[in-house]
A and B are shown apart, each in its own frame.
Chain A
């Protein structure tokens, strides 16, 4: 592989990892709240979270473009207050990957939390533990397989993201070019060797992430 191809693979891998890391602080509490609590508007939130799975990625990308652009609600704040441009930078790639992989993480983590027998949490309460301690000592350790499986699924989804990314970040060589965007470009330009090499890397990464995720999520957590 050429140096440029390696750069593309690296960029895709680390921005995907970063996306998973960024959605955890919001995704896990939300998944827990969906699994363990009843609250008004729950169905609406569930629907909104899952929307990116059902919407055409191009549409999600377009919505992001409107939000993150210099005249968008979020984009204006970043540009005017912090002097950070978002669209057509790597940050826009990150945002697209976060939104697109969020539903996968939340759904997997939610079912992982639901699979933890609530008796353990009740018993921990009676033993005097507060909710935060229960989450970190009982719920999360018993759900870790499912959570990690969900993180891997989210990572795999990020690696392959195309539609939303190209809308909000474009395909700028050396700036926002991910594996999928570069494969598309290689096909367009007839660069067959680049196409095949990136395709092989992409398939290998996806296979590894999904395989590990399946393996983790198939084995029942202890204490069901």
Chain B
């Protein structure tokens, strides 16, 4: 993968998100305190927010060039986004949520059976979203993202809302997703242990800027 974020400027409430980076690793952690602009960065990559200036390319494809007025629609970016609030559709069953992003006729990267087996959510298929526990919701959101056959996964504190015990149980699923499906991922977190467990490199962010960028093995906080 090669995600190029050039000349980014996205005004937020208290500061401007400004960066210039090329991400090429299979799993990159974006690490920093809350309010550092991490979620805004993911939203920008997903095409949910309009920057003041930006040039974003994915491999050879131009996603965004604010100066030239180029904007690839979010639906065409092939992104699997597990947002912090998950945004599971509350009126649909687990199965309908999982299948929402599957494209009729298009070749699938991963099968429904494979994904639900790896994440151990097969028995939940007919349930409503309201009947799921916190950990189950996280896994369903992750599975839904994977089933849309993404070329890039954006994970926004996927364990943030879980207690320590549950985190310990869900983390291995994320590691399994990395091993099994090998979709490049950008992983936003403020928990160093998660970043170490899953990612190859880390970008530390503060007030909208990248303050440090290191390989995970060399990372000392």
Q: A-side interface residues toward B, CB under 8 Å?
A: 117, 119-120, 122-130, 137-138, 141-142, 222-223
A142 to B91, CA, bound (A): 7
Q: 8 tightest CB-CB pairs across the interface, nearest first? A: A127-B101, A223-B90, A123-B87, A222-B90, A125-B74, A119-B87, A128-B75, A126-B74
8 A Cβ contacts from B128-184 to A: 130, 144, 148
A202 to B201, CA, bound (A): 72
Q: Assess whether B85 is interfacial by the CB under 8 Å rule.
A: yes
A223 and B144 contact, Cβ closer than 8 Å, known pairs A123-B81, A129-B100: no
A101 to B100, CA, bound (A): 36
**Chief secondary structure at chain B's binding surface:** loop
Q: Assess whether B213 is interfacial by the CB under 8 Å rule.
A: no
**Chief secondary structure at chain A's binding surface:** helix
The contact sample of 23 A-B pairs, CB cut-off 8 A, is A117-B87, A120-B87, A122-B74, A123-B81, A123-B87, A123-B89, A124-B100, A125-B73, A125-B75, A126-B46, A126-B75, A126-B77, A126-B79, A127-B101, A127-B148, A128-B148, A129-B75, A129-B100, A137-B100, A138-B89, A142-B91, A222-B90, A223-B90
A137 to B87, CA, bound (A): 14
> Number of residue pairs across A and B with beta carbons under 8 Å?
52
The listed residue with most B CB atoms (<10 A of its CB), out of A119, A120, A127, A137, is A127
A56 to B103, CA, bound (A): 53
Q: Is the CB of A119 within 8 A of B85?
A: yes
Q: Assess whether B15 is interfacial by the CB under 8 Å rule.
A: no
A137 to B83, CA, bound (A): 20
Q: Is the CB of A126 within 8 A of B91?
A: no
Q: Assess whether B219 is interfacial by the CB under 8 Å rule.
A: no
Looking at the complex, which one of A117, A127, A141, A222 makes contact with B100 (CB distance below 8 Å)? A127
Looking at the complex, which one of B73, B77, B89, B101 makes contact with A120 (CB distance below 8 Å)? B89
A142 to B129, CA, bound (A): 14
A142 to B92, CA, bound (A): 10
Besides A124-B100, A126-B79, 12 other A-B contacts (C-beta < 8 A): A123-B81, A124-B89, A125-B73, A126-B148, A128-B101, A128-B103, A129-B100, A137-B100, A142-B90, A222-B91, A223-B89, A223-B91
